[in-house]
Every structure is written in structure tokens, then in C-alpha cells.
Amino acid sequence: MKPSPHMERALVEAEAAEARGEVPIGAVLVDASGTVVAADGNRVIEQHDPTAHAEMLVLRAAAANFGSERLSHLDLYVTLEPCAMCAAALALARVRRVVYGASDPKGGGVDHGARIFQQPTTHHRPEVVSGVGEGRAAELLRTFFQARR
């Protein structure tokens, strides 16, 4: 599937994260008009914070910007399938749609692993679209980890 302009922006954020020595994952939150509300890449190492995943950073920025923890009018574009922590935060924020690039069979929390949105205790289940920009997102991750082995 060809990347949308929003996934392209997420990929740029992933590349910037890689340039900072972070795992190359980028995320973008977009409103219904297509305006980017928040964009960032992983900052776990930079911030010495295991929760500083790209998704968490854009959720925090948007919540602060709107003065609300409810972000039901926003769509998330992220280069890798969100982990269980990020998926739970997305459900709590009531994000409308999650669009991700590469699947993560080992650490994913949406279509793999914990499958957070499918749990009966999850009250909000965003629409999920997978595989958008998958090739480029997967290649970024593959080359990043090959260089470290």
C-alpha cells in the first residue's frame, strides 16, 4: 500500500529518530481536516524514559494542546504497529483511527501479542488500518538493527 502524506511525515520523524540514535519509529496525529496536530519520533534514550515512544509523545502533545485527554477527533499514523502500552494509551485517548506501517509480530499490541483493542475490558476500539508504507518502515527498522548486530 502506498504511503499517504501523513505516513510520509511519520517516516520522516522515524528517520529523525534514527539520526538521534533512537529506534526509527515516527508518529503523526492528524485532525479530520488533515492538519497535523503533533508529530514526533522515539525519544526513549534522549529522555531516559521507557515510555517516550513516538505514539506516547504525540498523544501527550495533542492532549496538552487541546486541554483534554480525549482525542476522539484525531487519527494516528505510525510507522510500526503500536506496542501494548501505546495501544492502551490510544484506546484511553479515544483516538478515532490508527494507521500503521510495519507489523510487529514480536512486540505489537494491536494485531499481534496482547491485541489490546480486542480485549473485552477495552472500552474504545479505534479503526485500524495496517500496511500503509510498510516496505519503507520495515526497511528502516531492518537496517537500523542490522547495523547494531
Q: What is the pLDDT of residues 28-83, one digit of tens each?
A: 999 999 999 999 999 999 999 999 999 999 999 999 999 999 999 999 999 999 99
| Residue 148 pLDDT class (50, 70, 90 cuts) | confident
E-strand stretches of the chain: 26-31, 36-41, 74-80, 97-102, 127-130
1 has a pLDDT exceeding 70: no
12 has a pLDDT exceeding 80: yes
Q: What is the pLDDT of residues 98-116, one digit of tens each?
A: 999 999 999 999 999 999 9
Q: How many CA atoms lie within 13 A of 20 on its CB side?
A: 19
pTM: 0.96
pLDDT of residue 129: 98
Spatial distance between the Cα atoms of 18 and 120, rounded to a whole number of angstroms:
36
Spatial distance between the Cα atoms of 14 and 7, rounded to a whole number of angstroms:
10
- Measured from the Cβ of residue 101, the count of other Cβ atoms closer than 10 Å reads 28
pLDDT of residue 38: 98
Q: Cell numbers at residue 84, please?
A: 501494548
6 has a pLDDT exceeding 60: yes
Edge to edge, what strands does the sheet with 127-130 contain?
36-41, 26-31, 74-80, 97-102, 127-130
Q: What is the mean pLDDT of residues 15-34?
A: 97
pLDDT of residue 10: 98
Locate cell 483534554: which residue? 68
pLDDT of residue 7: 98
pLDDT of residue 2: 60
Q: What is the mean pLDDT of residues 23-31?
A: 98
Q: Which residues are part of the catalytic machinery?
A: 55
3 has a pLDDT exceeding 80: no
